[in-house]
Amino acid sequence: MMSNTVVHGLKAILSGGADFITFEENKPMTLLFIDWHDNLVGVREHYEKSLIPSYIRCPGHKICPLCKKNPGKYPAMRIKFRVYDPLENKIKFISLAKTHIKKLNDDFTLQGVDPTKVLVTIFRKGKGIAETSYKACRYIVDHTGAEPKLAVPSRELMKNLPDILPQITPHSPDEIAGFMQATITGNAGLGDKGNQNPQKHGLFQKLYTPRTCNG
């Protein structure tokens, strides 16, 4: 059963209604992991900036249109799982590389922490793909009252977890071909518009003159 019946935002709509977390440097996040240990699932993904969506879950090298187009470009393994964000009281999704998952797990093991039982704080360092690293530790409660008190999710929320299956199911070859064709068609359409005679829009220009920064 899905917890959200209304989806807001282009990114969320294209990702199947999932709310994915993007960690930022110097902005730690405290979370409770819903999926971990044997419940983690990895899927190979292509990243194509020009496509919508940009992340394409590979159905297999032999049948994937993107693999056939770029045989030397191998899809990366991404681990996807659900977490609870206590600040927003929402279940969200995370997608990380295997190396980052290993680092987080090493931190949890070293500290004797089970992230599915207690809140943990995740730190990101670096901005580029090659420079990015993560660190995890047990959440430390602030007793001064300067920060909000964070708690684990309610039973009701846990009963209505968003389904992770749409986020780990590979796209079909037909779907991928459709994404690729839509981009080609869209680019062609933009090219046609760029060659239109600007005089055709004279009436519109008279009726509406956009404001500049100076008024």
* Cis peptide bond prior to 53, omega within 30° of 0: yes
**E strand spans, the chain:** 29-33, 41-47, 55-57, 76-85, 90-97, 120-125, 133-138
Q: Which residue has the tokens 């770029």?
A: 70
77: which strand partners? 44
Cα(155)–Cα(202) distance, integer angstroms? 60
CA nearest to 180, candidates 42, 68, 74, 60: 68
pLDDT per position as a tens digit, 39-90: 999 999 999 999 999 999 999 999 999 999 999 999 999 999 999 999 999 9
Residue 12: φ, ψ to 5°: -65, -40
State the CB neighbour count (10 A cutoff) for residue 170.
18
* DSSP alpha helix (H) spans, the chain: 10-14, 65-69, 98-111, 155-159, 165-168, 173-194, 202-207
The alpha carbon of 203 is separated from its chain's Cα centroid by a whole number of angstroms, namely 43
Question: How do the domains of the chain map onto residue ranges?
Answer: 10-156+165-185
**Matching residue, tokens 């294209």:** 14
Supply the pTM of this predicted model. 0.77
The confidence band for 20, taking pLDDT boundaries of 50, 70 and 90, is very high
Report the percentage of the chain scoring pLDDT > 70: 78
Question: Predicted confidence band at 11 (pLDDT cuts at 50, 70, 90)?
Answer: low
Token pair listed for 147:
């920060």
Closest C-alpha to 40, from 113, 127, 98, 1? 98
Q: What is the pLDDT of residues 135-151, one digit of tens each?
A: 999 999 888 878 888 99
